[in-house]
Amino acid sequence: MFDNFINLWHGFAIAGDPFNILLMVVGILLGVIIGVLPGLGGANGVAILLPLTFSMSPTSAIILLSCIYWGALFGGAITSVLFNIPGEPWSVATTFDGHPMARQGKAGEALTAAFTSSFVGAFVAIIMITLVAPLVAAFALKFGPAEKFAVYFLAFCSFIGMSKEPPTKTIVSMMIGFALAAVGLDMVTGQLRLTFGFEELLNGFDFLIAVIGLFGIGEILLTMEEGLEFRGKAAKIDAKVVLRTWATLPRYWATSIRSCIIGCWMGITPAGATPASFMAYGIAKRVSKNGKNFGNGEIEGVVAPETAAHAAGTSALLPMLALGVPGSPTAAVLLGGLLIWGLQPGPMLFVEQKEFVWGLIASMYLGNVVGLLVVLTTVPLFAAILRIPFSIIAPVILVICAIGAYTVNNNVFDVVMMLVFGIAGYAMKKTGYPLAPLVLAIVLGDSAEEAFRQSLLSSGGSISVFWANPLVSTIMGLGILALVWPLISNAMSRLRVAQPA
Amino acid sequence: MKHLHAFGLGVAAALGLSAMTLQPAAAWEPTKPVEFIVPAGTGGGADQMARTLQGIIAKHSLMPTQLIVINKSGGAGGEGFLDVKNSKANPHKIVITLSNLFTTPLATGIPFNWKDLTPVAMLALDEFVLWVNAEKPYKTAQEYVEAIKAAPDGQFKMGGTGSKQEDQIITVALEKAIGKKLTYIPYKGGGEVAVQLVGGHIDSSVNNPIEAVSQWRGEKVRPLCVFDDKQLTYTDKIVGDLSWSSIPTCKSAGIDVEYLMLRGIFMPPGVSKEQVAYFVDLFKKVRETPEWQQLMKDGAFNQTFMAGDEFKTWVEGAEKTHKGLMQEAGFLAAN
């Protein structure tokens, strides 16, 4: 481990080069812009810019690209908070409390909390990478299909019962999500499902299109109905908002630590930042004493998902480097980059390319500090956007949403789909069906089904594979506990009422 | 004399005609960015190759306009091929192929065929290797096959990329060759398969060299044999004294299975000969760059290059082979 510190020190010398620092700032700014535009995700951004980096040294190139990635992770929160439109899949959970805060005129606080927790999550993940990289890689290898399914199961269970709506509506919404996730090619049999001969449906329903439509367009429709008024007080613009928010954040240390653990774990396994953010939000709602107020603009509801998302996004780079398995779509594109620069990700990378690996890890530390400084200075600026009249900003949002939907697959049909999802989102909101379970099911439905069927294939159809070893049984056990927890806590509170002290 | 005149005229006319057709051959160049369709997801073998090509072409300024890589992976790549098929006579679009050029229409019934596209060139052929976890006792393909034969049907698990595609086709051929069933488990990508093998969740894989090479260098997996009719030619040491060339062929180990995957370039239907010639020439230039040579070496590719009729004949043959293999395996779509 001492070796790691010496290597890291060398890494800082490489990452601290003025040219590399400049690349960091450029990368973060580009990333924030990419993160703000829904649809143009980190993966797309990195893919577009990848060819530009071929003339740089591999270390400089990965610093630039990974900083775009950090920037996108930071930037995804901005539109979630301001307009209820998640800029990135992992910031969907940030909308639940972030947007209500903005409506109460606390956009500055919400953004500060989001950025700061992102930073905390990432920082903890980097420290973990520095200290225990080899151990973590070994842990990730233990995850076969059954273990992966158990993780998804836990994500779903920790989410059920978190919405204010009746459980039946939650389940209906989740089932619609599963049905939509099933459209397209069935990976296990290689057959098309539910496409009804429409070529447009070959790719299934992209999660981003659904999110942009359900949240973005749905929200605009609702606001229009309420008379073209922005449903929020104009935020007071005050540079001190950052400091004031910081003063309150240490109160949520328990939520932060919990979210960091969830995030690191989900990033390594690799399930990714999106399930991590949902899971952290769901668990925080259960455990926190402010849990009842979640969804009404509770700052803790912003801290939990943002910390987890960033911790997961950062730790996702570890399996990519150590095993060659990308933990996120963006990591997948970076992986392609590594190969072009002549670096083979895998167990030998840490041995043979020390300079590159530790240069990258050092740049994660510096990049995140630079990133935090850059985005925090923009808080008052972004909060000021809410002062623009709705009738001007709404068309702009619509156009950005349409561009975003188009960019996902370069397909006009997706823009139409987005509008359909928008109307569905509006109808669901009016009838009190929660959107979040639907979104969660679209995101994880495919992967969960795949893992479930892979497990059954390898066990010859026996369901006992889900408690075949201590690791998988523990995760499944936690999932079941999370599922029945509301019943238990209900029963316990009833017991307490029944036996007055 | 009359005949001669006519002959002379004919020659003159022919010369004039060929001059007229040759003129634009030298002149056609892309006038706007060229879309490079990848009918597979980001990070896979085809995507890596496409992005490397994009990088090489940009770095050496081999094309006057940009090359833009676009992934259209829906329906096992069907989305990408349909897009190219429907862009009739558009010379600013090319597509890189995997075996799904043949397998996707056969397995899913998505309506396209390589004949709907214009063949440009074969860039390389990708090899397949039988891998086991390095901690397992099997040192040779024979030992592994003996172990499979000794166990009940379906006890040994083979991991692969996708369903009813190249990896599963090889698995079925392997089952036929040894007369025992394996349990095939499909995963999304080759890198994931390699890691599942290292983690011991599957017993073997038929990963492409580039997908498993880093795990081999880390001595986590062991190659048993290569599904080609001759051994690989790359002699750079990878682990100890072993190199790609030291892997025996599966045939020599008694497993009579051969399979190579096309990494080729196609264009939309209805493009002109000159436009095709431009891209053939472009990829010839790419093949001479050091970056391409490095990629070929890293991935132990079979560097056969073909264009024109030779390539077309090859593709025809490959389609027949796939149809036969998939029919035997029962992978053809119902309709």
Task: Report yes or no: B140 and B252 within 8 Å, Cβ to Cβ.
Answer: no
Smallest CA–CA distance, residue B10 to chain A, in Å, is 50
Answer whether B248 touches A (CB < 8 Å): no
Least confident of A73-87, A304-318, B123-137, B233-247: A73-87
Nearest to A141 among B157, B198, B217 (CB): B198
How do residues A317-327 score in pLDDT, each as one tens digit?
887 787 777 66
- Residue A149 CB partners (closer than 8 Å, separation 6+): A448, A451, A452, A455, A466
Contact call for B163 and A189, based on CB within 8 A: yes
ipTM value for the complex: 0.83
Q: How confident is the model at residue A329 (pLDDT cuts 50, 70, 90)?
A: low
Tell me which residues of chain A, numbers 363 to 422, contact chain B at a CB-CB cutoff of 8 Å: 409-410
- C-alpha distances in angstroms, B312 versus B38, B91, B315? 20, 19, 5
Let me know if B267 is exposed, middle or buried by CB neighbors in 10 A (0-12, 13-18, 19+).
buried
Strands B34-38, B93-97: pairing kind:
parallel
Helices and strands, counts by H and E, chain A: 22, 2
Task: Report yes or no: A390 and A24 within 8 Å, Cβ to Cβ.
Answer: no
User: Distance between CA A259 and CA A315 in Å, rounded?
Assistant: 13
Structure tokens, A39: 């649809």
Mutate to test the interface with B, among A139, A201, A325 (most CBs of B within 10 A): A325
Strands B157-161, B183-187: pairing kind:
parallel
Answer whether A347 touches B (CB < 8 Å): yes
**Domain limits, chain A:** 2-498
What would the mean pLDDT of B252-260 be, rounded to a whole number? 94
3-state secondary structure of A418: helix
Say whether the peptide bond before residue A270 is cis (omega within 30 degrees of 0): yes
- Residue B36 CB partners (closer than 8 Å, separation 6+): B50, B53, B54, B67, B68, B69, B70, B94, B95, B96
Answer whether A50 touches B (CB < 8 Å): yes
Contact call for B79 and A187, based on CB within 8 A: no
Q: Which residue has the tokens 């597979």?
A: B40
For chain A, the average pLDDT equals: 83
Nearest to B58 among A54, A348, A460 (CB): A54
Answer whether A202 touches B (CB < 8 Å): yes
Tell me which residues of chain B, numbers 42 to 71, contact chain A at a CB-CB cutoff of 8 Å: 42-43, 47-48, 51-52, 54-55, 58-59, 69-70
CB atoms closer than 10 angstroms to residue A279: 31
DSSP string covering B111-166:
S--GGGSEEEEEEEEE--EEEEETTSS--SHHHHHHHHHHSPTT-SEEEEESSSSH
User: Distance between CA A232 and CA A381 in Å, rounded?
Assistant: 17
Answer whether A272 touches B (CB < 8 Å): no
Q: Same fold for the domain at B33-126+261-329 and the one at B129-246?
A: yes
Answer whether A45 touches B (CB < 8 Å): no
> Could you tell me the pTM of the whole model?
0.85
* pLDDT of B15 strictly over 50: no
**Number of residues in chain B:** 335
What would the mean pLDDT of B103-117 be, rounded to a whole number? 93
* pLDDT of B11 strictly over 70: no
* pLDDT of B236 strictly over 60: yes
The conformational region for residue B48 under phi > 0 = left, psi -120 to 50 = alpha, else beta, is alpha
Share of chain B above pLDDT 70, in %: 91
Structure tokens, A153: 């199961």
What would the mean pLDDT of A123-146 be, rounded to a whole number? 84
Answer whether B82 touches A (CB < 8 Å): yes
Q: How confident is the model at residue A274 (pLDDT cuts 50, 70, 90)?
A: confident
User: Distance between CA A428 and CA A174 in Å, rounded?
Assistant: 12
CB atoms closer than 10 angstroms to residue A339: 22
How do residues A376-388 score in pLDDT, each as one tens digit?
888 777 777 777 7
Higher pLDDT, A381 or A196: A196
What would the mean pLDDT of A474-490 be, rounded to a whole number? 83
Answer whether A296 touches B (CB < 8 Å): no
DSSP string covering B30-83:
-SSPEEEEESS-TTSHHHHHHHHHHHHHHHTT-SSS-EEEEE--TTTTHHHHHH
User: Distance between CA A157 and CA A491 in Å, rounded?
Assistant: 19
- C-alpha distances in angstroms, A146 versus A278, A451, B200? 21, 6, 13
User: Distance between CA B38 and CA A6 in Å, rounded?
Assistant: 42
Nearest to B215 among A50, A340, A347 (CB): A347
* pLDDT of B84 strictly over 70: yes
User: Distance between CA A345 and CA B215 in Å, rounded?
Assistant: 9
Contact call for B82 and A202, based on CB within 8 A: yes
Q: B129-246 adopts what CATH topology?
A: D-Maltodextrin-Binding Protein; domain 2 (3.40.190)
Higher pLDDT, B69 or B256: B256
- Residue A33 CB partners (closer than 8 Å, separation 6+): A71, A75
Contact call for B195 and A47, based on CB within 8 A: no
Higher pLDDT, B29 or A207: B29
Q: How confident is the model at residue B222 (pLDDT cuts 50, 70, 90)?
A: very high
What would the mean pLDDT of B239-266 be, rounded to a whole number? 94
Phi first, then psi, for residue A293 (nearest 5°) are -90, 0
DSSP string covering A80-107:
HHHHS--SSGGGHHHHHHHHHHHHTT-H
State residue A142's pLDDT score.
Answer: 86
Q: B33-126+261-329 adopts what CATH topology?
A: D-Maltodextrin-Binding Protein; domain 2 (3.40.190)
How do residues A446-455 score in pLDDT, each as one tens digit?
888 999 999 9
Amino acid at A420: V
Phi first, then psi, for residue B70 (nearest 5°) are -125, 125
| Dihedral in degrees, nearest 10, Cα atoms B251, B254, B255, B256 | 50
- C-alpha distances in angstroms, A150 versus A301, A452, B206? 25, 9, 27
State residue A374's pLDDT score.
Answer: 86
Q: How confident is the model at residue B22 (pLDDT cuts 50, 70, 90)?
A: very low
Contact call for B196 and A144, based on CB within 8 A: yes
Contact call for A335 and B191, based on CB within 8 A: yes
* pLDDT of A355 strictly over 90: no
Let me know if A116 is exposed, middle or buried by CB neighbors in 10 A (0-12, 13-18, 19+).
buried
| Closest residue, chain A, to B57 (C-alpha) | A51
What would the mean pLDDT of B6-26 be, rounded to a whole number? 46
Phi first, then psi, for residue B17 (nearest 5°) are -60, -50
Answer whether A57 touches B (CB < 8 Å): no
Share of chain A above pLDDT 70, in %: 91
| Closest residue, chain B, to A350 (C-alpha) | B218
